[in-house]
Chains A and B, each alone.
Chain A
Amino acid sequence: MAVLVNKQSKIIVQGFTGTEGTFHASQMIEYGTNVVGGVTPGKGGSTHLDKPVFNTVADAVKATGANVSIIFVPPAFAADSIIEAASENIELVVCITEGIPVQDMVKVKNYLQGKTTRLIGPNCPGVITAGEAKVGIMPGFIFKQGRIGIVSKSGTLTYEAADQVVKAGLGISTAIGIGGDPIIGTPTVEAVKLLMNDPETDGIIMIGEIGGSMEADAARWIKDNKTKPVVGFIAGQTAPPGRRMGHAGAIIGGAEDTAEAKMKIMAECGISVVASPADIGKTIAAALKK
C-alpha cells in the first residue's frame, strides 16, 4: 500500500469543474484513482465526469466520506481552499496550484499547526502510489509499480527519475512531489520519514534544489535513522546567486542555500549523491545491490 494514498483513498477535487481540474481529474479517474466527487462553489448538486459536485468541502465529506483532497484552485483563492479542507479534517490535502502569495502560505502553515491534516505542496505535481492511486498531474504510465520511493521538489525531474528507475529494472512504490515554493506543507524530511518507515519501499531517491535548508534537515535525520539506501540529487549547481530559477523557492540567498553546500552535507550524512541527473537510476540500482 506504500504511503499517503492507495486504492482505499476517497478523493475529492477542489476546483473540480475548471479547465485544469476537469482535465486532471479525468486523467486520475482513467488511472483508476478512486475520485468520489468534487467541490466548486455554486455548482453543488450537479454532476461532472459522472461524479457529484458539492458547494463546500463539508458537504462533500458528509456525502462521500472523502479523506483526501486535491486542489486545482487559482492562486488567489488556493490558501482559502487548503484551510477549508483542513477545517473538515481531511487527512491529506494535495495542492497543485502554482503562484500562491507567500504570506497566504504563512497563514496556512500556522492554521495547520496542531491539525491532523497533512498538506503536500503547493506548487507540486502531487502524489502517486504506482498501480493504486494518482493524486496529481504526473503522467501515470511512467510510474511502474515497484519498491523505490521518490521525494522531489520538482515535477518533470520526478518523471525523469521515475523513468530512469524503471529503465534500471526497478519500479516505484510512492512518488511524493513536495513542491517548489518557499513554504510547503510537507518538508523533505517528513516525506523521507514516511518512505523510510514504509515496509514496501526498499530505497529512496531524494531530489532537491537550491534555496532553503530542507535537504540539509532531511540529510541529518537520514544520518541517524537510515535503514535503506538513499540517492540524492540537487538541481541548480550552475544557478547564479540571487536569481529566482523558475520555482519561487529556488533562489540562492546565502552560503547554505547552494547546491554545493547541500550536496556536501548530504554526502557526509551517508546519502549517495549524484552530480549528474542522468545517473539517478543506475546509482539507486547499484546501491540496492550492496
Chain B
Amino acid sequence: MNLHEYQAKELLKKYNVPVQEGIAVDTVMAAEEAYRQIKTQTNNNFAVVKAQIHAGGRGKGKIEGSEQRGVAVGKSVEDITTIAKNILGGTLVTIQTGAAGKKVNKILVAQDVYYPGANPVKEFYLSILLDRATGQNVIMYSTEGGMDIEEVAHNTPEKIFKEWVHPGGGLQPFQARKIAFNLGLSGEAFKNAVKFVTNLYNAYLGVDASMLEINPLFKTSDEKIIAVDCKMNLDDNALMRHPDIAAMRDITEEDPTEVEAGQYNLNFVKLDGNVGCMVNGAGLAMATMDMIKLSGGEPANFLDVGGTANAQTVEAGFRIIMKDPNVKAILINIFGGIVRCDRVAAGVIEAYNKLGNIHIPIIVRLQGTNAEEAKKLIDESGLKVQSAIQLSEAAELVKKAVA
C-alpha cells in the first residue's frame, strides 16, 4: 500500500522524525486558512503548495491544460489561492503518472524551508529498504539530494553510500554517526542528523514499511535536519497489525476495477492489452500472460483467482475483465490439482449462462484432475467456448482469436 506525502509525514512525526510542517486541505478556502496559520507559525510570507498524488515528479509535472506545476511557492494569500484553485480538482501529469495523469483531490500547504539564516542550506538523499539478497534492511544515502537517485547511482555510483542493519542488534549508534559524517555534517546539524536517522529507522520498522524514501533530506539554515518529502510504501502483509494505517488507504488513487476485484478477493492488475486472462496461481498467471504475447496478443490483465475457481469467482472475473472494451478474447487457464477440473468447467458454464451475452471468444484450458471430463462438459454445453487441455493447444487458440 502507498501513502500520500502528508500521511507519511504524520506517521514520521509520531516517531519524532522532524518534517517540513504543513496542513493538508481539499478546498481553496481551507488552503487560505492553512496559509495564514503557517505564516504565523513560521513568521515567513513564503509557503509551498504541494499536490498530493501517489506519484513522483510533481515539481516538474504540470496540471493538464495549464502551466501550473504540481509544487509551487507563494508569498501571499492571493498567490496561494491562485495556486490552490489551479491544482485542486485538476489532473497532474508527471513522468511517473503516464499521459493520463492523476486527479488531485488534496494539497499540502507547507512551510518554506529555504528561510534565511546563519548557514547555507543543503539537500541530501536517504532511504531505507529491504535488501532481498542479504535479507537485511539497508539504509541508502547520498550527498546528492533533491534529484533522481537512479540517475545519481548510474552516473556517480561513488556518491551512493549503503549501511546494512543487522537484524539481531538493530541500528547501532556508530552507524547513525557514520551516516551523518559521510553526509559531511558537523556541530548541531551532525547531532540532529544522528537523531533523525535513528528515529527514522524506528519509524520504518514501527509502521512495517517496505520502502521509506526521504528526498530531499534537508539541512536548514539554522542546522535543523528535516524530511521535506517522504515516499512511504507499506508491506501489505503487515497491514493486519496496523488497522490505523490501513484506514489511510486512498482508493481514489487506485484503478477502480482493481479495487472491485479486491472486494471479490481476486488478485487483479490492469494492463493495456487485448486478451484477458483468468488463472489460478500467480506464477501460472504471469506465464499465461507471457504465452498470450508469444501467440501474437497482448495481455489485458493479470488475474489470479487463487485456489478456489468456482462459479462465483469465475463470474466475478468475467465481469471485471469485460469492463475493458479493448478485450477481444478471454483465456481461462486453470491447473486443477486439488480443485477438480469438471467442477471448474461447471462453474464456467454457470457463469457464462448467468452473464448471457458474451460476444467475445472464450478459451478455456483445464488441465489436471478430471481434465477430460471437463473438456467434454465444455464441448457439449453448446456455448461458444473453445476448450483445450494442453497449454500449447490453448496458445494456438489464442493465436487464432487475435489473428
Contacts and interface: CB of A to CB of B under 8 A. Distances in A.
A156 B240 contact: no
A163 B281 contact: no
B286 interface: yes
A182 B167 contact: no
B133 A213 contact: yes
B290 A156 contact: no
Contacts of B125: none
Contacts of B240: 75-76
Contacts, number: 169
A25 interface: no
18 contacts: A103-B238, A110-B135, A154-B284, A155-B281, A155-B284, A156-B280, A156-B284, A156-B335, A157-B281, A157-B287, A160-B284, A180-B282, A209-B283, A236-B290, A237-B290, A240-B271, A277-B284, A277-B288
B167 A107 contact: yes
Contacts of B394: 278
A27 B339 CA distance: 13
Contacts of B287: 154, 157, 160, 233, 235, 277
B391 A277 contact: yes
B331 interface: no
A156 B285 CA distance: 9
Interface string A126-146: 000000000001110110000
A4 interface: no
Interface in A271-290: 275-279
B395 interface: yes
A164 B392 CA distance: 10
A176 B226 CA distance: 48
Interface stretch (A32-40, A48-56, A84-92, A94-102): A94-102
A276 B267 CA distance: 23
Contacts of B147: none
A235 B283 contact: yes
A7 interface: no
Contact of A102 (B130, B269, B285, B335): B130
Nearest to B367: A163
Give the interface size class of chain A.
35 or more
A68 interface: no
A139 B334 CA distance: 13
Given A157-B284, A159-B368, A248 B237 contact: yes
B338 A139 contact: yes
Contacts of B392: 278-279
B292 interface: yes
Nearest to B258: A243
Given A110-B135, A182-B130, A213-B133, A275 B290 contact: yes
B208 interface: yes
A99 B306 CA distance: 14
Interface string B307-325: 0000000000000000000
B133 A238 contact: no
B132 A246 contact: no
A59 B111 CA distance: 61
A240 B289 CA distance: 11
Interface of A: 27, 75-76, 99-103, 105-107, 109-110, 137-139, 141-142, 152-160, 163-164, 167, 180, 182-183, 207, 209-213, 233, 235-240, 243-250, 259, 275-279
A238 B298 CA distance: 8
B304 interface: yes
What 10 pairs between A and B have smallest CB-CB spacing? A154-B283, A246-B282, A156-B281, A139-B337, A101-B238, A235-B286, A157-B283, A277-B287, A109-B135, A110-B167
Contact of B282 (A250, A275, A276): A250
B72 interface: no
Contacts of A107: 167
Nearest to A156: B281
Nearest to B392: A278
A163 B299 CA distance: 24
B335 A160 contact: yes
B130 A156 contact: no
A6 B135 CA distance: 30
B338 A246 contact: no
B241 interface: yes
Given A139-B368, A213-B133, A246-B304, A278 B283 contact: no
Contacts of A75: 237, 240
A70 to B, nearest CB: 15
B286 A239 contact: yes
B170 to A, nearest CB: 11
Contacts of B292: 238
Contacts of A243: 269, 302
B135 A247 contact: no
Q: Which of A75, A180, A182 has the most CB of B within 10 A?
A: A182
A167 to B, nearest CB: 8
Interface in B13-64: none
Contact of B294 (A100, A209, A276): A276
A262 to B, nearest CB: 13
Contacts of A211: 132
Q: Which of B210, B282, B304 has the most CB of A within 10 A?
A: B282
Contacts of A240: 269, 271
Interface in B363-382: 367-369
B205 interface: yes
A170 to B, nearest CB: 16
Contacts of A276: 290-291, 294, 395
Interface string B249-287: 000000000000000000101010100000111111111
Given A156-B335, A237-B290, A238-B293, A163 B302 contact: no
A211 B286 CA distance: 13
B337 A159 contact: yes
Nearest to B153: A254
Contact of A249 (B132, B285, B368): B132
A142 B368 contact: yes
Contacts of A137: 338
A134 B271 CA distance: 37
Contacts of A207: 283
B215 interface: no
Given A237-B293, A278-B392, A109 B167 contact: yes
